[in-house]
Chains A and B, each alone.
Chain A
Amino acid sequence: MELHEDLFRHEAGRMTAALTRLFGMQNLALAEDVVQDAFCRALELWPRRGVPPNPAAWLMTTARNRALDVIRQQRTASTFAPEIARLLDSEWTAAALVDEAFTPALIRDELLRMIFACCHPDLPESAQIALVLNILCGFGAPEIAAAFLERRSAIEKRITRGKKVLASTSRLTDLRAGDLAPRLAAVHRTLYLLFNEGYHGSSSRGVVRAQLCEEAIRLVTLLGEHEATAVPATFALGALMLLHAARLPARLDAAGDLIALWDQDRQRWDRDRIAQGRALLDRSASGTALSSYHVEAAIAAVHVGAASVAATDWRAIVELYDQLMVIAPSPVVALNRAVSLAERDGPPAGIAALQELDGDDRLAAYPFFPAARGELESRLGRTEAAARYFEEALRLARNDGERRFLERKLERLRS
């Protein structure tokens, strides 16, 4: 029996979810101890006896038994979840309650509850993301630090502080009541940022980074499965992720370097993901509110629907960017709009749109701003100007992947 490479990460989130249902969010550390305990048992037994036929179920059973021990030993010393503390007092109801907490449907609800708990309004977005990755996705501080190019100690602090805030929320979020709606936007945003960090992130390599997209898709799928969170914006966000993720296989070359959309081998796009993304986009087309996720997903859908760059419906894409500039204006959206405009109306129109963004300090350190200008200058045959812009972009490159990508552009220009 082989070990699935994400087994421990995925099960850690599910086990913690079931255990915090029993112990209460204020005992999150206790829940994590029980998870670690189950992992230690596995490490002692599996290498000697072999991996059990259903390793996930084995871990769950071990955590369940350990939870019952903890409840027996500590029920007078600790205060568990207030809603169920009374039931844990009796041996008979305690066992039934522990079993119930480990049923798949309740684990799913509990995971959902934890996503919302992590997106606590008192926490900055960076802490929300770190908590989601740590508690739900099972990444440790070193892995998160590597993915976000930050110091391990900084991430550790962020997680510790975040967990303190979570521990202070003793009441469980009620999935059916109005508890979810006010935080849903923050949850969407956190998952969106998580996906983006994996897709466009500032660090080009690292084991975790490639998995961030998968984790974001996993969690947004979970949101789509529960009636309380299965709203149009959730489906739009899911569509956006899937339609982008469909292009992942063609986005890096054999050496791990970035390949621009213009040069990607479209045969390598993931057809299943495209179909899933389109289905979600259809489901998102209800209700009256048009979110930025709808528009971004629609743009991604136009791209994956085109056989080539030339065959792309740039008219539709420019219109969608115009819409996005109304709902969620940002300099990066404006930059993308300018690039699309150049495809629709020719390089001079693109350059004019880029010039309007000159001096925006939010783009001052963004390498793809000068790179876009360089690209358009080179199409007009103004090689020297193009090289100047690419050199500037190269100075701003944030990692080796971007650096090599821009160096290749420069080489091609000079040859």
Chain B
Amino acid sequence: MQNSLDPRIRRSDLDSASGFNQVGENENWETFAVFHQDKRGDAHVFVGIVHAPDPELALVFAKEQYGRRKKTVNMWVVRSTDIYTFRHEDEDMFATVPEKNYREASGYPVRKRINKYLHDLEEAHS
């Protein structure tokens, strides 16, 4: 690469790697899921994965990749193989009754009931 504009490339012996074109299987290690906490009091949130040979290095890479820009106070990493999950195709199992008013606070208009009671009381006394 004598004609390269980059002096570092002109100094490197790139030809020594000319026959190399095969990264081995698993040479990029396994994957870890990264959970990021941007401030104390907030939940850790899944932000993506890193490739690493072990949890310690996974944390180092996670800091580099997911803590580089955003404010960060803490991180978790978890081996992808240690995550258990439902399948998206089974999401209908989360379907429940369409009307869930009975389990919402807003489904209980107590004040309306009280007002009606007071109103009826007033009517009865007048």
A binds B: no
Please report A residues at the B interface, Cβ cutoff 8 Å: none
Report B's interface with A, CB cutoff 8 A: none
